[in-house]
Chains A and B, each alone.
Chain A
Amino acid sequence: MRRSWVLVMVFLWVTLTSVTAMGKGAITFWLMPNAPDETHIPWLEEKAREFETQTGYKVNFEVIGWGEAWQKISVALASQTGPDVFQVGTTWNPQFAATGGLEKLDLAEFGSAEAFMKANYVSTTYKGESYGVPWFAETRCLFYNKDMFAKAGVQPPATYDELKAVGKKIVETFGEGSAIAIAGTNAWDLLHNWAIVLWAYGGDLLTPDNKQAAFNGEAGITAMKWYASLILDGLAAKACAEYNQPQADAAFINGNVAMCFMGPWNIAGIEQENPDLPYDVVEPPAGPVKRASFSGGSNLVILKGSPNKDAAKEWIKFLLTKENLVDYTKNLSHMLPAKIEAFEDPYYDTGVWQVFKKTLGYATAYPPLAVWGDIENAVVREFRNILTAVASGQYSEDTVKLYLDQAAEKVNEALARER
């Protein structure tokens, strides 16, 4: 009896471990649904084949929804298994680097640090070292409905004050809530929407040394009041207070609302949902201090525990060749390349892309901190409280300061943990 047990155990052991020995010469690539599956998957399959004939390495790719990506990546980091190379959002990169689970990279291998858009390069860094390679970039600009503007007799606003004046004219013509669609409590990217106003008013999220919260100062309060006033003054619908970003986008894309801050990826949405929409894009308005925009996008990173780092690096280089990068950003993801040489493609001097390219030139990234996730969560939570107060009619003059101070306290609590 005892011997049979041992035999069973040995048998199990052998069968289980032998399966794991497979898979040399292949890398696993995780990426997000940057384009609709119908075009995305065939493109990836084709490129993987091309890469295999060039280098002999097989690429197994897996498209992971943004919703579950963070958790899957954190599990991969903790266990050091899963993908060899994967896509991360720019704001995620420093946090994942802080875990020690990402491979340190020398950008000289992929061109040089200067070969990439500045803000995207910064997003790959943590304590001065690079842990990723910028892949594509995005920034939000002001989309407006040309017909509605013409009927209301207004021009695209150049400043945030003008935006409100323009909005009031539009409301006079089209009714309450028709001027602008904004993201509300349900938007995970709520902070991105407000940060650009904050910067334009001369404020900043943190002090220059990244040690203290700074967004609850004068500029922050004015910027937040400006955001809340869009709803309070009826420029944006009350329902906006609870919107997520796609809901806000949809209101604009359906043609119900005259303005919306959106990104290049929305252009595909417009072409699909409402190709007749008469829209155009301008840079985000300027504040009293400057014009500011948010730099987002995605980077490619390598898992430290990957047994195939060389193949992983080759794959990144392959994706970043000018031809592949332009093809991917132009025809699939509708984002902007993060590598500067790709902008030589004449496509980026046409129409709206010109505007995005210009805006991206001064776009700002968030500080590359390990505790950034906690910081963003804390600010967004209090931001939500402000919007809830607005929606439920409990907003008063002190609301903004109250909640921003609370947020600052929590941000400082988080910053104290940064090492």
Chain B
Amino acid sequence: MSSQARGRRAFRFILPALLCMLFVHVIPIFWGAYIAFIDLDIYTITRWMQAPFVGLRNFFTVFSPATDVGVRYLRSIWNVVYFGLVTIPAGYLIGLLVALLLNRKFFGRTLVRGLILLPYITPDSVAYNVWRFIFQARIGIVNKYLLALGLIKEPIIWLVGDRAIYAVMIASVWKGWPFACLVLLAGLQSIPQELYEAAKIDGASSFGLFRFVTFPMLRPVSATLLLLSAIWNFHAFNQFYILLGADPGKAHVPSTFILQEAFTNFHFGQGAAMSVFLTVVVLLMTVVILRVRRRGEEW
């Protein structure tokens, strides 16, 4: 079979998937890039085919610290970065510790492993609504126990204002660490037992074992896991939208902010400009991750 014929045959098999990708990802992303250059707002939304081309103006507006949108967009970017800087390492550390615990054999291990997966498989809408209930100022249990322990004098309002982002972080770490744990556990179990035995013969302490065997062996898995988490961090939406509502105020992240600017305030052009930036960032990070993975040479 000629290589052309082979290509055609593969094409027929892949065509439906290709069409889906084309309509849902490719066309919208390029179209979105186009919208970012037109003045699509409240006046033009019903006649948006005629919206005027405005060059880079939308980009200047959303990145300018002098405009209201700009200030809030820059803050939302900072928020999502800050959010990632806290939740990713925290989730990774908890995941690693628990994975080390579960890597031993003990009675009921399967049950425990199943149970810790619960947060991961619980639908976001359920998990974050429950956390929203938990964080309620007057009827929630967080404040109940903080008061009982004497750590606070008055109930804290968690889900509004400056503290809101921390509440979201706590809920997200709770939801996210089991996945890290799962991946690391798989990584741990793929470490050949002989390595440990060899190290023990050399007289390594249990910390030494971790430092010189476990940790280096987990490095490739950890690198991919952390990079993927860093990319997915920019997807953060559900936890903010569900815990804080459609307008998280100071705790906006790009996803919630763009949604609000576009569909509530009719700033579609600016919203698209903000999206384009996000796409570019994610694209760059994907290139990095592919470079890192190249070493594994999967394809």
Contacts and interface: CB of A to CB of B under 8 A. Distances in A.
Interface in B130-146: none
A414 B270 CA distance: 14
B64 to A, nearest CB: 11
B68 A99 contact: no
Contacts of B12: 1
A413 interface: yes
B45 A371 contact: no
B206 interface: no
A99 B41 CA distance: 8
Interface in B46-76: 46-48, 67-68
A11 to B, nearest CB: 15
A74 to B, nearest CB: 6
Interface residues of B, number: 21
Contact of A378 (B46, B48, B68): B68
B43 A100 contact: yes
B45 A77 contact: yes
A330 B262 CA distance: 38
Interface string B138-175: 00000000000000001001001100000000000000
A98 B68 contact: no
A417 B47 CA distance: 18
A235 interface: no
A98 B42 CA distance: 7
A242 interface: yes
A410 B42 contact: no
A242 B159 CA distance: 11
B138 to A, nearest CB: 10
B263 interface: yes
A371 B42 contact: yes
Nearest to B71: A410
Contact of A99 (B46, B157, B245, B264): B46
Interface in B67-111: 67-68
A308 interface: no
Interface of B: 12, 41-43, 45-48, 67-68, 154, 157, 160-161, 245-246, 249, 263-266
Interface of A: 1, 67-68, 70-71, 74-75, 77-78, 80, 95, 98-101, 185-186, 239, 242, 304, 370-371, 373-374, 377-378, 384, 388, 410, 413-414, 417, 419
Contacts of B245: 67
Nearest to A414: B68
A186 B160 contact: yes
A99 B43 contact: yes
A22 B20 CA distance: 28
A304 B45 CA distance: 13
Contact of B246 (A67, A78, A101): A67
A71 B45 contact: no
B160 A74 contact: no
8 contacts: A1-B12, A67-B245, A74-B45, A77-B46, A101-B45, A304-B46, A370-B42, A373-B266
A77 B45 CA distance: 8
A374 B72 CA distance: 13
Nearest to A71: B263
A373 B46 contact: no
A76 B124 CA distance: 27
B146 to A, nearest CB: 17
Given A99-B266, A373-B265, 20 more contacts: A71-B246, A71-B263, A74-B45, A74-B264, A77-B45, A95-B42, A95-B266, A98-B42, A98-B43, A99-B45, A100-B43, A100-B45, A242-B157, A373-B266, A378-B68, A384-B249, A388-B161, A410-B68, A413-B68, A414-B68
A371 B267 CA distance: 11
Contact of B264 (A1, A70, A419): A70
A240 to B, nearest CB: 12
A413 B12 CA distance: 54
